[in-house]
A and B are shown apart, each in its own frame.
Chain A
Amino acid sequence: MTVSPQNLTLKPDDAAPASLLNVGVLALQGAFLEHANMLRRVGAAPIEVRLPADLTGLDGLIIPGGESTTIGKLAVQYGLVEPLHAFVTGGKPVWGTCAGLIFLAKDIGPTPSGGHVIPRRLAVMDIKVDRNAFGRQVDSFEADLRPTFAAAGAPFRAVFIRAPKIETVGPGVAVLATLNDGTVVAARQGNLLVTSFHPELTNDVRFHRYFLEMIQSAAQTPPAK
């Protein structure tokens, strides 16, 4: 029996040479090491972000999956919300996976009965999201996707864990991937990328490479003030 490696570790031969691109990974809680391992594999230098000062000098940022309430509360307590907001509005690329998607979405609908709201989110991307809409863990699933930027290649095996559902997208938002029933699961609006699934739990680097290309092209254009 072999247990799949889940990208819990980085094999030494996967490590790419250090690059000029410093990509932050918000490391308050959740699957931040998995993202860091993927970033190394695509040739970027991951930086763990726990405090506002850690944002200095970053070219882009990933807000990982984890528990959105936990990440949201820690971001408020350690004064990260305003600096993160400035980072996004300054034009730096930011990618939210799962909990990170909730953190970026403008609209997460009404508070579920008894549930708790995330105290303050960035609320910058023009999407409406329903948290945990795919159900509890028993409903977590894998599915094959055909991302628009890799339509000709092999399907992307996506892992959805108690995932949020993107219900509607605004006019400026490009859909990058859908489930068979048309549900939007990956989208981009300018410097913002969101996925309701977890590319960092697979060995498929295509989404990380796509994000790195977003960072590279943003670095070549002056920041929008």
Chain B
Amino acid sequence: MTTQNGSGNNKNGQESGTWRVKVGLAQMLKGGVIMDVVTPEQAKIAEDAGACAVMALERVPADIRADGGVARMSDPGMIVRIMEAVSIPVMAKARIGHFVEAQILEAIGVDYVDESEVLTPADEAYHINKHNFKIPFVCGCRNLGEALRRIGEGAAMIRTKGEAGTGDVVEAVRHARTVLGDIRRLTTMPDEELMTYAKEIGAPYDLVKETKELGRLPVVNFAAGGVATPADAALMMQLGVDGVFVGSGIFKSGNPAQRAKAIVEAVTHYNNPEILAEVSKNLGEPMVGINVSSLPREEMLAERGW
């Protein structure tokens, strides 16, 4: 399989790896919850609870944070076992800029690659050229400029970063409000201001213009990083994201199966407080949180990425 050409014709007049099929899968994930899992058993629990996809990794962000050291792509053997265990899409993480890890993930056939700040960056200046791949990529962002730079590099899905492994939703809220607020301001800007705005936020001009016309990002935008409860998930949905990633929040809690199911229901019924109240009852212990304001800046994962 070549990784030098993103899309290509195959038999039967069919064209695979196109931009439309890359963004299209993310559109099918909308209104859903993508859950971090470290074993096939956890993947099945997530699928049973109604997850629309799983993120296969060796350690959830809370453990990566606690263990320290270098965090890398997971063992492909483990990822394949998770792919065999469930019928829903399986995502996996590559380090920022580590295009060979991404090639390996493409070779085993994962459905989405997350070029993720949760792992230790492999390149301090450049992200992966994601146009080179047939499989789609999701990338993190903290503001509109960062989101549009990643889309410019070929990301077919965006997630706001939040602060992974903390169980503190404050950074997820900050990043979602920043991106969505940037877009709201952009939609009222006269066209002659767009080039200077593109320069200021370090984003491709064409994507700035397209975002203004659409009134939203041109790809699907999920929230991530610190979602721990059904209320957190519904909060992010009401702020205006398309769906939610939950990392450590499920399998670091007292009752993962029930919490996972509750968060799935909260994302579907995010505007219905009666249902949110019902699903939030008796979930047991949530994950132990880390207050983000107590974290030293060099320990903030969201600072990674350029």
A interface residues, Cβ below 8 angstroms from B:
1-6, 8-9, 11, 27-34, 50, 65-67, 69-70, 73-74, 77, 98-99, 112-116, 131-132, 136-144, 159-162, 179-181, 198, 201-202
Q: Determine chain A's interface SS by DSSP, over half rule.
A: loop
Contact between B214 and A30 (Cβ–Cβ < 8 Å)? no
- Contact size class for B? 35 or more
Contact between B15 and A141 (Cβ–Cβ < 8 Å)? yes
A137 nearest in chain B by CB position: B111
28 A-B pairs within 8 Å (CB atoms) are namely A1-B206, A2-B210, A3-B218, A4-B20, A8-B219, A11-B213, A27-B31, A29-B50, A29-B268, A30-B32, A32-B30, A32-B31, A67-B53, A69-B50, A70-B264, A73-B50, A74-B50, A136-B83, A137-B25, A137-B135, A137-B136, A141-B15, A141-B18, A143-B15, A160-B21, A161-B21, A162-B111, A180-B12
Q: State which of B65-73, B86-94, B114-122, B194-202 sits at the interface with chain A.
A: B86-94
Most-contacted residue by chain B among A33, A140, A144 (CB, 10 A): A140
Contact between B15 and A6 (Cβ–Cβ < 8 Å)? no
Most-contacted residue by chain B among A27, A73, A99 (CB, 10 A): A73
List the 9 closest A-B pairs by CB distance, nearest first.
Answer: A137-B111, A115-B87, A141-B14, A140-B21, A67-B52, A141-B16, A3-B218, A29-B31, A73-B50
Is B240 interfacial (CB 8 A cutoff)? Answer: no
B interface residues, Cβ below 8 angstroms from A:
10, 12-21, 23-25, 27-32, 40, 44, 47-53, 83-89, 106, 109-112, 134-136, 151-152, 204, 206-207, 210, 213-216, 218-220, 264-265, 267-269, 272
Complex Cα–Cα for A50 and B267 (A) = 12
**Least Cβ–Cβ distance between B227 and chain A, in angstroms:** 17
One of A3, A140, A144 near B16 (C-beta < 8 A): A140
Contact between B87 and A69 (Cβ–Cβ < 8 Å)? yes
Complex Cα–Cα for A160 and B17 (A) = 11
Cβ of A70: which chain B residues have Cβ within 8 Å of it? Answer: 32, 50-52, 88, 264
Most-contacted residue by chain B among A67, A143, A144 (CB, 10 A): A67
* Contact (A144, B13) CB under 8 Å given A29-B31, A137-B136: yes
Complex Cα–Cα for A74 and B264 (A) = 9
**Least Cβ–Cβ distance between B111 and chain A, in angstroms:** 4
